[in-house]
């Protein structure tokens, strides 16, 4: 996953995105750390009045739900066979934590 993150950063830099606009997070993560990272990143974006945000996830995960229509992608933060709520986070929950101004897509 580190190589994927590095390749993504290189691709963004090649498209002339300033390095100070790339906020990578890598390593052994947990739900509170990722939530805090997104909230903090959202504060930085809140000062902008236009533009877009690109979020790239690269993680272990699984789908939760009994049918394809109910399936929700989940990020997995633990290698335990018994996955508790604090060991996972659905993708939509990240965007709740990552509050963006209405003008930013």
Report yes or no: 66 and 10 within 8 Å, Cβ to Cβ.
no
Query: Residues 24-68: pLDDT tens digits?
Result: 888 777 778 888 888 887 777 777 766 677 777 777 777 778 898
Please give the share of the chain, as a percent, with pLDDT higher than 90: 9
**Token pair of 17 as six digits:** 């995105």
- What is the residue extent of each domain of the chain? 26-97
The CB-based long-range contact list for 17-21 (8 Å cut-off, 24+ gap) reads: none
DSSP H or E run through 35: helix 31-46
d(CA 64, CA 60): 13
């Amino acid at each position: 996953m580190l190589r994927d993150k590095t390749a993504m950063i290189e691709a963004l830099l090649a498209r002339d995105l300033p390095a100070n606009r790339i906020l990578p997070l890598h390593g052994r993560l947990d739900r509170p750390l990722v939530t805090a990272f997104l909230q903090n990143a959202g504060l930085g974006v809140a000062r902008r009045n236009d533009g877009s945000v690109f979020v790239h996830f690269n993680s272990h995960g699984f789908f939760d739900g009994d049918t394809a229509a109910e399936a929700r992608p989940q990020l997995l933060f633990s290698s335990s066979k018994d996955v508790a709520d604090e060991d996972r986070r659905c993708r939509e929950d990240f965007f709740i934590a990552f509050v963006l101004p209405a003008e930013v897509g």
